[in-house]
Amino acid sequence: MIQVKRAYEPASKNDGARFLVERLWPRGVKKEDLHVEEWLKEVAPSTELRKWFHHEPAKWREFRQRYFRELEKHPDVWQPLLARSRKGRVSLVYSSHDAEHNNAIALKEYLESKMNKGASRKAA
């Protein structure tokens, strides 16, 4: 199971394995307070894409498409997350104020689509 959680919310035992999926460390958060297993900078959108998107909801659809293309080029950065999510609960930790239009939401969608494709192949 994959879920998303804002970096500014307290960690919970229901979070499972927590991974920060941002290029930049969340402002005002101490490393010891975030309680993440790993900071996965490389799974986050490129700096260029992040700056282009600038958390503008009108760009959300195009952002997702561009981000998914970036992820397709670098399976080595997201496949460990996918494997971990198959073993148990995973929380993708993000720092954006927008809870609906952020890279963790897009990454969750991407990973779940990969899980579903894998499940479809096994069923066939």
Question: What is the per-residue pLDDT across 13-44, written as a single tens digit (0 to 9) for each?
Answer: 999 999 999 999 999 999 999 999 999 999 99
User: What is the reported pTM?
Assistant: 0.92
User: Strands of 38-39's sheet, edge to edge?
Assistant: 2-6, 90-94, 17-20, 38-39
Mean pLDDT of the chain: 93
Question: What is the per-residue pLDDT across 69-121, written as a single tens digit (0 to 9) for each?
Answer: 999 999 999 999 999 999 999 999 999 999 999 999 999 999 999 988 765 55
Rounded (10°) angle between helices 103-123 and 75-87 = 70
